């Protein structure tokens, strides 16, 4: 489980395709604290560490993950938002994030607003999935590329988020522009409530 509070936006230094899988190698500052089999969220996708060197580590994304997320379109040099799994004795500074990306969205607008930024994202709306909680609500939580954010201007198939300078600088939001594909994870609490209201 994660909280959506990014530890580091780290560059991809290696990508290797093997059958339907993709091995992604990252370079980050806390490699010496990692171990094999550890879970780390990459742009919100929970992946397992499979190998480690002095300053890099590698994870493997399977076809299901590549189909549902933006990991398959990333290139060497792209920065990926990283978060290690939560410590149960710590504060939940973001919201409950599972690391299970629901779908992708596309950035349709980036607007600077006197020192902060508004990003608009549009996603494919599915009425059946919306009844199961795959949607946003005004002032609710959403996870975009692994970042816990508050929704504003929630529409049927789009929403906005406001990004402060710290988040802009220390996550990969500074690389997101119009046309960029991002990962979405909708709020798990909303999914459970939707299931109880619509049990079928």
DSSP H helix total and E strand total for the chain: 4, 12
Q: Encode pLDDT of 125-155 as tens digits.
A: 999 999 999 999 999 999 999 999 999 999 9
Q: Say yes or no: do domains 8-84 and 103-197 share a fold.
A: yes
Predicted confidence at residue 163, as pLDDT, reads 97
Question: What CATH number matches the domain at 8-84, 2.40.30.20, 4.10.640.10, 3.20.20.70, 3.30.70.260?
Answer: 2.40.30.20
Q: How far apart are CA 78 and CA 155, in angstroms?
A: 30
Domain boundaries, the chain: 8-84, 103-197
Tell me if 86 sits within 8 A of 6, measured CB to CB.
no
DSSP characters for 129-144? HHTTT-S--TT-EEEE
Tell me if 16 sits within 8 A of 26, measured CB to CB.
no
Asked whether the predicted pLDDT for residue 200 surpasses 80, the reply is no
Asked whether the predicted pLDDT for residue 182 surpasses 80, the reply is yes
Predicted confidence at residue 88, as pLDDT, reads 82
CATH code of the domain made up of 103-197: 2.40.30.20
Q: How far apart are CA 170 and CA 46, in angstroms?
A: 20
Asked whether the predicted pLDDT for residue 178 surpasses 80, the reply is yes
Q: For all residues of the chain together, what is the average pLDDT?
A: 96
Q: How far apart are CA 143 and CA 58, in angstroms?
A: 23
Cβ count near 186 (within 10 Å): 25
Predicted confidence at residue 194, as pLDDT, reads 93
Asked whether the predicted pLDDT for residue 74 surpasses 80, the reply is yes
3-state secondary structure of 63: helix
Say what the alpha-carbon torsion angle 85, 167, 59, 14 is, to the nearest 10 degrees.
Answer: -160
Token readout for 58 is 């590698």
DSSP state of 32: G
Token readout for 159 is 């929403």
Predicted confidence at residue 158, as pLDDT, reads 98
3-state secondary structure of 33: helix
Predicted confidence at residue 198, as pLDDT, reads 86
Asked whether the predicted pLDDT for residue 26 surpasses 90, the reply is yes
Residues of the chain with pLDDT > 70, as a percent, come to: 100
Asked whether the predicted pLDDT for residue 89 surpasses 90, the reply is no
């Amino acid at each position: 489980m994660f909280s959506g509070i990014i530890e580091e936006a780290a560059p991809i230094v290696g990508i290797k395709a093997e059958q339907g899988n993709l091995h992604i190698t990252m370079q980050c500052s806390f490699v010496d604290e990692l171990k094999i089999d550890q879970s780390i969220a990459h742009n919100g996708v929970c992946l397992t560490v499979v190998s480690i060197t002095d300053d890099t580590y590698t994870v493997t994304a399977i076809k299901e993950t590549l189909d549902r997320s933006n990991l398959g379109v990333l290139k060497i040099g792209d920065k990926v938002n990283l978060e290690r799994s939560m410590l149960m004795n710590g504060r939940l500074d973001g919201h409950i994030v599972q690391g299970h990306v629901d779908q992708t969205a596309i950035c349709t607008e980036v607007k600077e607003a006197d020192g902060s930024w508004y990003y608009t994202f549009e996603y494919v709306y599915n009425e059946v999935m919306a009844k199961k909680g795959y949607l946003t609500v005004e002032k609710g939580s959403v996870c975009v590329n692994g970042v816990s954010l508050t929704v504003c201007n929630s529409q049927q198939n789009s929403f906005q988020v406001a990004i402060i300078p710290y988040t802009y600088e220390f996550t990969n939001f500074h690389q997101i522009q119009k046309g960029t594909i991002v990962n979405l994870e909708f709020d798990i609490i909303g999914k459970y409530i939707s299931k109880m209201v619509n049990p079928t």
